């Protein structure tokens, strides 16, 4: 693994566990074994490193969402995403939460650049869900009253998932997120979709 990649990977882990503000340069040095001069060779300051971490995390997250959006129908693709998200938090025992949500809460009144970078990730996720909801509407699987509300609905879904992740991280219990995901399915899809698409 290249030195720059190792720094970004370690900083991503530390930002997720300890927060952006509580991750000192010394912690990154201890985690990577790369000395201060080596870190500053690649990154002029912590914010520059923060942008690189968000960029890398975004690439991984979008790949994760796209690879989990499997199935013949939009409903199957959405449920695939939801299942993959839940399984990730099961595997990690809800220790990490969502790096974008974590940084967003921490940096809302901090670095404007970091805040905007995280906002852009959420917007991409919302657009991905919106496109799937529009597909579901065309396929006749979305509740009729929601067919013209896909943009607003996608924002609501992302917000609900982030809330479920936060509750699961706080309580160290993935069932909070599981409940949220299944509630979304109940609310947005027609009745016949519910039983066979519940997530466990």
Q: Hey, what are 118's tokens?
A: 């995280």
Over the chain (200 residues), the average pLDDT of each successive run of 10 is 92 92 91 92 93 96 96 95 97 94 83 90 98 96 93 98 96 97 94 67
73 falls within a domain: yes
State phi, psi for 44 to the nearest 5 degrees: -70, -25
**151-196: per-residue pLDDT in tens?**
999 999 999 999 999 999 999 999 999 999 999 999 999 876 656 6
21 falls within a domain: no
111 falls within a domain: yes
74 falls within a domain: yes
3-state SS class at 189: strand
The whole domain housing 90 covers: 54-197
33 falls within a domain: no
Classify the C-alpha dihedral 64-67-126-161 as positive or negative: negative
pLDDT at 112: 85
29 falls within a domain: no
List the one residue out of 82, 99, 78, 79 whose CA is nearest residue 90.
Answer: 82
Domains: count for the chain: 1
124 falls within a domain: yes
Q: Hey, what are 41's tokens?
A: 């060779």
Q: The domain that contains 146 carries what CATH number? A: 1.10.357.10
166 falls within a domain: yes
Q: Count of residues for the chain?
A: 200
Q: Hey, what are 131's tokens?
A: 């496109």
pLDDT at 85: 97
Instruction: Quote the CA–CA distance of 2 and 18 in Å, as a whole number.
Output: 24
Instruction: Quote the CA–CA distance of 50 and 121 in Å, as a whole number.
Output: 14
pLDDT at 98: 95
For residues 169 and 93, the answer to whether their CB atoms sit within 8 Å is: no
């Amino acid at each position: 693994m290249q030195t720059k990649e190792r720094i970004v990977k370690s900083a991503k882990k530390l930002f997720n566990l300890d927060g952006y503000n509580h991750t000192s340069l010394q912690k990154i040095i201890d985690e990577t074994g790369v000395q201060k001069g080596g870190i500053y060779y690649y990154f002029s300051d912590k914010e520059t490193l923060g942008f690189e971490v968000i960029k890398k995390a975004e690439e991984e997250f979008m790949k994760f969402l796209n690879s989990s959006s499997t199935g013949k129908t939009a409903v199957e693709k959405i449920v695939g995403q939801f299942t993959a998200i839940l399984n990730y938090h099961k595997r990690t025992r809800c220790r990490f939460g969502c790096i974008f949500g974590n940084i967003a809460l921490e940096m809302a009144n901090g670095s404007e650049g970091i805040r905007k970078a995280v906002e852009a990730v959420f917007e991409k996720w919302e657009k991905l869900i919106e496109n799937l909801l529009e597909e579901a509407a065309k396929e006749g699987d979305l509740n009729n009253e929601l067919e013209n509300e896909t943009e607003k609905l996608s924002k609501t879904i992302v917000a609900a998932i982030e809330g479920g992740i936060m509750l699961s991280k706080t309580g160290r219990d993935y069932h909070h997120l599981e409940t949220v995901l299944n509630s979304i399915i109940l609310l947005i899809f027609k009745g016949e979709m519910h039983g066979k698409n519940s997530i466990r």
